[in-house]
Structure 1
Amino acid sequence: MTRAVWVKADDSVGDWDVRRARITTALEAGADWVLVDEADVERVRELGEINVAAFKTDGDVTLIDDAEDDEELEEPADAYVVGKDGEGDGTIDLPGDFSGSADLSTLRRDADVERGAYVRILGKEYEAFAEAAAVAADYTIVIGDDWTIIPLENLIARIGSETMLIAGVTNAEEAKTAFETLEIGADAVLLDSDDPDQIRRTVETRDAAERERVDLEWGTVTDVEQIGSADRVCVDTGSLLEHDEGMLIGSMSRGLVFVHAETAESPYVASRPFRVNAGAVHAYVRTPDGGTKYLAELQSGDEVQVVDLDGHTREAIVGRVKIEKRPMFRVAIDTDSGDHIETLLQNAETIKVATSEGRKAVTDLETGDELRLFYEDTARHFGEAVEESIIEK
């Protein structure tokens, strides 16, 4: 599931300076949408590229009666209809004026129009209102003034598969809860906060909710052999990597060795915390989608997967790939499952791998050392896992 972060920046949050500050932070942090008033749409466009949702001041769509029976549900004071035009310009309009109620048939889905609803959950009847609106809504924004988990659980269970459910939050912790509720979570959150740190942390929470966690295991080194020179690849990313982070690299796609980023200082060379000296051109590197690429294929702008020692992952953009001829080691490893894998690593003390005794230079590796690795009993075809018999040795 792809999660999204919306940032609320309509006139209810303050004057244009306050709204602009929220919008600018949302742009810089990587939020997906901003929610503004119709009059601010062009202003937002001038600030940068982001999807814009706009409260309309003269909306002509009305909403709605109770879908469960013929009794009209009194219209909540803060309920709006979303309409997205079919031109694909990334704008959603939210009409804000209502003059009664209408049958749900007036909100039927249309191939050229995406619709949705914005509802404050002030009581149980408002849950019913949101459920009824979601029947015809592509987007359903629900705001809890006195928010508890139960209404969100109810809405996820009842309408989560029918609409993009967007939960109103005021900080990153609430966003994390919204994304995790019922182990399914809301599709998106609408953040109402002036705090730049909360906006950034909410985007980080979105990213963390989407990231894979891999199961790392130990393998036992059975041979470390100095071999000749090969074309070695350094992967320089556009991110600073942490001390416990690296990439998963290997000659065989089913078994990839954890190779540390060059974050450690050395008597011979300064640290390069954006770099992983990854191995020879033929080797695989794991990508954020769970696939693999050959190191030789990588180029500026590609994404690679960064992994820490606990298996947490994140993505990094490749800024540069350096290929140079260097002397190499062949490292052979037996996995816990009895399989045998290998990889080639440069013969240099600055290249570190993760062992059960801690970070260790490849030049110090010995038979019997335990290495951190990722193993999956599957074959790969063009980087994608396949159910077929392939022999790698």
Structure 2
Amino acid sequence: MKLCWLDVRNLDGARGAIIEEAVHQRIDGILADDTSAFEMLPPTVKRILFTGTRPLPEDLSGVDIVIADPAVHGQTAVLAAAHPEVEFGRFVEIIDAETLEQACSAARTERWSLLEFRDPTKIPLEIVIAAAAGSTGSIVTIAKDIEEAEIIFGVLEHGSDGVLLAPAAVGDPTSLKAAAQDRAGTLELVELEVTGVTHVGMGERACVDTCTYFREDEGILVGSHSKGMILCVSETHPLPYMPTRPFRVNAGAIMSYTLSAGDRTNYLSELVAGGKVLAVDVKGQTRLVTVGRVKIESRPLLSVDAIAPNGTWVNLILQDDWHVRVLGPGGVVLNSTELAPGDKVLGYLPVEDRHVGYPITEFCREQ
């Protein structure tokens, strides 16, 4: 799980409300330049002291982490020896090659590295993350807003271990936590048994073209109902009459559900360029990928019914064509037009019903 720190040093009237929201959202740490900001924090929230250019107080009781600037406060090893009850980290502002090397050194050796990059490019952060590979410390990068935080969390597919954000308003702690949680996770896939395949005539289907190369055992989950989906494979596998399109999933009819960020469902027809969709492999490992475009065209359609071991009925309507495929156990690629009762396909069974795409516990019947 990525770390979320909030910088409350420059908050005035809204400080109390934002700290209350941060606690409610289980933000990992509050960073301040005086210990008074920590008085009402529960033990679940790290108390992080960073005094900037001012000296450190002699009394560090009630502080969990101190971020030190070596030019102002001295070396972290010396500070840690004097205050063994506190964890120490190093602040580095990256403005040139020399300070970039300092950041790389800190990331390799320090328990905590708080990094501020003055230039908008993320290449220096990529270099630091690569330099820190295998180290046991944590890199926390300062973000100017939620949009930059989302980018920082995903740099080099690993991202910074955490983000420090100075919230501009109430709601920012919630948004930061959501950005941190929208990372890859794992879904529990199940084997579904096909019970019937029916030609249902013409309709609009959606091809989802992403900005990412899919792996051969990877696709997106699609289903006619929110409580059951089938894993549709990308066009990474050879076709007899056309080149492969490893960025594409010929997904299903436009009203079908798929998964996106934050366990939310979207209709295929809602996906747009720049949006997100959840890529899933046969082991249930997931990653968010960016949608490049969605192609909606009229095609003959095929309805596939399947049943889960717990009796849940699952339906998928997709294009009636041989090159449209789904995944079976072990990554077996199955052509949609050759599916027959008794075949096994991989699927996912969300527990909650949906309201405007969000999971909710309520009565809802889909048929």
Specify if TM > 0.5.
Answer: yes
Aligned partners of 1:173, 1:201: CA distance in 2, in Å? 18
The question of whether the paired residues in 2 share the 8 Å contact of 1:245 and 1:306 is answered with yes
> Is 2:97 the counterpart of 1:79?
no
1:172 is aligned, of 133, 151, 154, to 133
Relative distance call for 1:67 and 1:98 in structure 2 (3 A) is: closer
**CA shift at 1:327, angstroms?**
0.5
Mapped pair 1:128 → 2:85: yes
User: Who is 2:255 aligned against?
Assistant: 282
Q: Deviations over 1:323-380 (max 9, x none)?
A: 1010111000111111111110111111111123711111111101111001123211
1:67 aligns with 2:60: yes
Deviation per CA, 1:55-106, whole angstroms, max 9, x where unpaired? 99xx74111314249xxxxxx9x932xxxxxxxxxxxxxx83359xxxxxxx
Alignment partners' CA distance in 2, 1:293 and 1:239: 19
5 Å matches for 1:1-393?
2-3=2-3, 60-68=53-61, 79-80=68-69, 96-97=71-72, 119-120=76-77, 123-130=80-87, 170-174=131-135, 177-178=136-137, 188=140, 203-206=156-159, 210-356=183-329, 358-393=332-367
Letter in 2 for 1:276: V
Moved more, 204-213 or 305-314: 204-213
Are the counterparts in 2 of residues 221 and 333 from structure 1 also a CA contact under 8 Å? Answer: yes
Give, in whole Å, the separation in 2 of the partners of 1:172 and 1:269: 41
Verify the 8 A CA contact 1:122 1:144 in the aligned structure 2.
Answer: no
Opposite residue 96 of structure 1, the aligned amino acid is: A
In structure 2, the CA distance between the partners of 1:126 and 1:169, relative to structure 1 (3 Å rule), is farther
Shift of 1:256: 1.0
CA 1:375/1:96 → structure 2, altered by over 3 Å: closer, same or farther?
Answer: same
Rg larger for: 1
Aligned to 2:134, what secondary structure does the other structure show? helix
- 2:76, 2:88 within 8 Å by CA — same for their partners in 1? no
Equivalent residues, number: 261
| Offset at residue 122 of structure 1 (A) | 7.3
Counterpart residue identity of residue 360, structure 1: L
**Structure 2: which 5+ residue stretches go unaligned?**
5-49, 91-102, 113-127, 143-151, 162-179
For structure 1, the 5+ residue unaligned runs are 5-54, 70-75, 81-94, 100-117, 134-140, 153-166, 179-185, 191-198
Q: What is aligned with 2:175?
A: none
Q: For residues 281 and 60 of structure 1, do their structure 2 counterparts lie closer, same or farther at Cα, with a shift above 3 Å needed?
A: closer
Could you tell me whether the CA contact under 8 Å between 2:223 and 2:315 is conserved in 1?
yes
The TM-score, its normalising length taken from structure 1, stands at: 0.58
TM-score (norm 2): 0.62
Q: Take 1:145 and 1:310, find their aligned partners in 2: how far apart are those partners?
A: 32
Are 1:246 and 1:307, in contact at CA under 8 Å, matched by a contact in 2?
Answer: yes
**What fraction of aligned residue pairs are identical, expressed as a percent?**
31
Offset at residue 173 of structure 1 (A): 2.4
CA distance in 2: counterparts of 1:205 and 1:79, whole angstroms: 26
CA distance in 2, matches of 1:236, 1:168: 30
Offset from partner CA, 1:26-45 (integer Å, 9 cap, x none)? xxxxxxxxxxxxxxxxxxxx
SS in 2 for 1:96: helix
SS class of match (1:363) = helix
Deviations 1:271-324 (A, max 9, x none): 100100010010011102111100111111111111111111111111111110
- The letter for the 2-side match of 1:65 is E
Q: Structure 1's 169 and 284: CA in aligned 2 closer, same or farther, altered over 3 A?
A: closer
Separation of aligned partners in 2, 1:310 and 1:342: 21
RMSD: 3.9
